[in-house]
Structure 1
Amino acid sequence: MSQDTPVKRQFGHRARLALSPAGVRTADDQAHAARTLWNLLHAWWQMMPKEKRTLANADAAIRQARQDIGFLAVLPAQAAQAVLKTYVRAWKNCWEGRADAPNFKCRFRTVMSVDIPQGRDLNIVRVHRRWGQVNLPKVGRVRFRWTKDLPVGKRAGAENRITGARLVKDALGWHIAFRVQILQARPAPHRGPDIGIDVGVTVPLALSDGTTYEHGAWLTGKEKARLLHWEQRAAQRKQHRRPGERTSRRLHRTYDRIAGLRAKAKRRALDWQHRTTTAIARTYGTVVVEALTITNMVTSARGTLEEPGRNVAQKSGLNRAISGEAWGRTVTLLTYKTARYGGSLVKVPAPGTSRRCSVCGLTTPGSRESQAVFVCKNPACGWSGNADHNAARNVLHLYRTGLALVPAAGRAVVRRAKRVKPAAAR
């Protein structure tokens, strides 16, 4: 395929909704109706014999349920069909080994969401620079934050359009996630330099050219004090609950305040990751990262009764710090952003990158004197420098020597690039 051939790109864009109190209640009712419809559909699926578990019978059961149960009528008919489609897709993912079998959805542990499968029903209009308007079924015209140019109005067409949306509620309120499809030119190959990246806790991202990307605390001092206050208040109120007693509304409001502060911290962290990965993808042509198995890195050190672990509290704090940095999400963002700008992302084996000297290439015991300083113990070298930058240079060295991890049959294997001999040596 030539570079001038346009390619179809599909992505999502999430924006904050400005719902009125009545609109919030309607959206909440629709989300609860969608969850209830999922549970009824799952119960029907378990009761029916296998030969009667067809799409037509399930659709007829949904229509009958919407007639018999009054509060299900608040859910639009297309959203009800989307619940059926999602449920069938969940079973297909289970049969193909990509996910577990679907189950009932709990009221307080399930993300409240409503699907809008038809993009033509949205009728999106940009009001001014900061706000746009969207039509939500059975809710009406609602404003949303305009933070990205969307293919609406004269810019919309058969190839550039919004194919649908989903209403999602988190601790900060209701949001709308648009499904966008555009036709754009294939990006030219990125001519930027190669770069190796080492991830860490003290220094989140250290690059092989000496650049570092750091961030501060996601919550201010007052917000941390407020979070600690509400966590202590929740612990006190939880002590007065009897076994089997329902959670009071006061405790639920306390949980909501805690979730709101944590969601604010997560949003700031995600914003920093997006800005950082965009800057890296625009600057460098090939980005090399370590293939880390993060699930093994955050394993608890508690041990067993026969063999109890050591430094359990310290390991728990390290696990929280690793999970808070979200290294896997950083790699995911870099993967599609480097491809968008014409670059590529390569993974290399992780063992030994922090213990090898990037100058002489030897691995000697005790070279990593501290978390931040690397001192080569080779008498012929003796180089010392920042440990994170040294590891990033080793990551880039593995790529330049031809080592790369490629997926093969569901696992990663090491492949060494073939080198072409010069004409004089043949």
Structure 2
Amino acid sequence: MGEHGLVKRQFGHRARLALSPACELKADAQAHAARTMWNLLHVWWQMMPKEKRTLASADEAIRQARKDIDFLAVLPAQAAQAVLKTYFQAWKNCWDGRASAPNFKGRFRSVMAVDIPQGRDLNVVRVHRRWGMASIPKVGRVRFRWSKDLPVGKHSSKGNRITGARLVKDALGWHIAFRVQILEARPEPHQGPDVGIDVGVTVPIALSNGISKTHGEWLTKQEQAKLLHLEQRAAQRKQHRKPGERTSRRLHRTYDQIAGLRAKAKRRALDWQHRTTTAIARQYGTVVVESLTITNMVKSARGTIEEPGKNVAQKSGLNRSISGEAWGRTVTMLTYKTARYGGTLHKVPAPGTSRRCSACGFTTPGNRESQAVFVCKNPDCGWSGNADHNAARNVLHLYRMGLALIPTAGRAVVRRAQRVKPAAARQAGISLL
């Protein structure tokens, strides 16, 4: 928290890079060097005795590796130090129970990325309404898409500045993710109304006041047809590959085209989620959602050989639909956006919200006649309406009854750490950090 009622806010902003072929080759070389540096660190960690696994020894090892291996020199020294810090942090996350133990990074499995720890090295300027320029170490001056105002030039100060960035390559090309720190006025308490939210597949977001937030298909009909054609082509080419034979370049090219279309769909979904959650956070002071365990909801129904599951194909389709809507990401966006605009987000227990009548409180599985229609079976009520809006009203009702859940993430993390930390430490054979 700063002075005069100002608070410090840190966020990330991702922008598309417009790289020349030469600059793209340099960025690719740096990303491969960073991945190789990670793998060398992992080998060094496994070979060294536990008393010598220190940050200073690792720093000396990567400095020597940059001298002995020529292609590692394309990676800037600060980016190599960032790989080292990230690797040590990965072990800390493992011991604290927040992640699994770090492993080798494969060429095709891992994300190509390079870190730029110092924001002052970027020298970001705005040159056009749609474009900005930044300096990438050992790459040069590059253009990026200017889609958000950044603290540069006269708007840059000690409190408002770019602290660093990260180059990331996905199926749509290279992007730069800025780490931004700004000082802004503390938000006043939001005086807007309360609203309950029910997330679903048919209706992505249903509000308790009867408003629905929906979207269309993320890909056009032509793009969907092209994606189907590419998937069929990939399956045919994969059939002709012999066991143990390397994947052909044609098949890799087909996979890249498939990944490009899926990345385009994900980008459109993210844009819709950001716009929708921002509108909700601006309009409502208190947002109430269900506390859903999404990982359990998307488990496979295949079962075992002795006890095979039922309706496996239908459950698989439902799992894909739930994963495609990204309910957890929607809640995450609402959490930090409501706080930014002075509102609050609360979670309530999920069981029974879709079976309870919001008019009389009668609860039975028979109330839900279909996915979209709710009809109360209470003879004295008989209320009927949209099932999603009925669930959203029940979510808001639970909050007003004082049944909001207290966050227990800390205790959950402690229990996971008690299970994971000893096994991970014995596997790694370490006792430092």
Interval of TM-score (by shorter of Structure 1 and Structure 2): over 0.9
Contact 2:2 2:8 in 1 (8 A): no
Note the C-alpha offset of 1:363.
1.1
User: Which letter does structure 1 place at the counterpart of 2:411?
Assistant: G
Contact 1:4 1:186 in 2 (8 A): no
Query: d(CA) in 1 for partners of 2:93 and 2:266?
Result: 29
Find the counterpart in structure 2 of residue 416 from structure 1.
none
Note the C-alpha offset of 1:129.
0.9
Find the counterpart in structure 2 of residue 268 from structure 1.
268
Which deviates further from its counterpart, 392-401 or 247-256? 247-256
Residues 89-114 of structure 1 deviation map (CA, whole Å, 9 limit, x = unaligned): 11111122211111110000000000
User: Which letter does structure 1 place at the counterpart of 2:108?
Assistant: F
Find the counterpart in structure 1 of residue 420 from structure 2.
none
Query: d(CA) in 1 for partners of 2:107 and 2:237?
Result: 21
Show the 5 A alignment for 1:204-215. Answer: 204-215=204-215
Note the C-alpha offset of 1:2.
11
Consecutive unaligned residues in structure 2, runs of 5 or more: 414-433
Show the 5 A alignment for 1:175-214. Answer: 175-214=175-214
Query: d(CA) in 2 for partners of 1:99 and 1:39?
Result: 18
Query: d(CA) in 2 for partners of 1:45 and 1:411?
Result: 29
Query: d(CA) in 2 for partners of 1:4 and 1:286?
Result: 27
Query: d(CA) in 2 for partners of 1:236 and 1:260?
Result: 20
Find the counterpart in structure 1 of residue 369 from structure 2.
369
Contact 1:91 1:101 in 2 (8 A): yes
Find the counterpart in structure 1 of residue 44 from structure 2.
44
Note the C-alpha offset of 1:369.
1.0
User: Which letter does structure 2 place at the counterpart of 1:74?
Assistant: V
Note the C-alpha offset of 1:411.
4.5
Partner SS state of residue 404, structure 1? coil
Partner SS state of residue 405, structure 1? coil
Find the counterpart in structure 2 of residue 295 from structure 1.
295
Identical counterparts, % of pairs: 83
* Count of equivalent residues: 412
Find the counterpart in structure 1 of residue 57 from structure 2.
57
Change (3 A) 1:313 1:133: same
Partner SS state of residue 345, structure 2? strand
Find the counterpart in structure 2 of residue 171 from structure 1.
171
Change (3 A) 1:89 1:164: same
Partner SS state of residue 364, structure 2? coil
Residues 257-299 of structure 1 deviation map (CA, whole Å, 9 limit, x = unaligned): 0000000000000000000000000000000000001111111
Contact 1:66 1:72 in 2 (8 A): yes
Find the counterpart in structure 1 of residue 344 from structure 2.
344
Note the C-alpha offset of 1:410.
2.4
Find the counterpart in structure 1 of residue 425 from structure 2.
none
TM-score, length-scaled by structure 2: 0.93
Contact 1:125 1:132 in 2 (8 A): yes
Following TM superposition, where does structure 1 have runs of at least 4 consecutive aligned residues deviating by more than 4 angstroms? 1-4
Find the counterpart in structure 2 of residue 410 from structure 1.
411
Find the counterpart in structure 1 of residue 219 from structure 2.
219
Note the C-alpha offset of 1:304.
1.2
TM-score, length-scaled by structure 1: 0.95
Residues 305-344 of structure 1 deviation map (CA, whole Å, 9 limit, x = unaligned): 1111111111110110011000000000000000000001
Partner SS state of residue 174, structure 2? strand
User: Which letter does structure 2 place at the counterpart of 1:263?
Assistant: A
Aligned alpha-carbon RMSD (Å) = 1.3
Query: d(CA) in 2 for partners of 1:208 and 1:401?
Result: 15
Find the counterpart in structure 1 of residue 430 from structure 2.
none
Query: d(CA) in 2 for partners of 1:115 and 1:135?
Result: 13
User: Which letter does structure 2 place at the counterpart of 1:212?
Assistant: S
Residues 128-181 of structure 1 deviation map (CA, whole Å, 9 limit, x = unaligned): 110000000111110000011100000111111000000000000000000000
Query: d(CA) in 1 for partners of 2:240 and 2:108?
Result: 20
Bigger relative contact order (CA 8 A; separation at least 6): 2
Contact 1:195 1:288 in 2 (8 A): yes
Change (3 A) 1:229 1:384: same
Show the 5 A alignment for 1:126-145. Answer: 126-145=126-145
User: Which letter does structure 1 place at the counterpart of 2:285?
Assistant: G
Find the counterpart in structure 2 of residue 100 from structure 1.
100
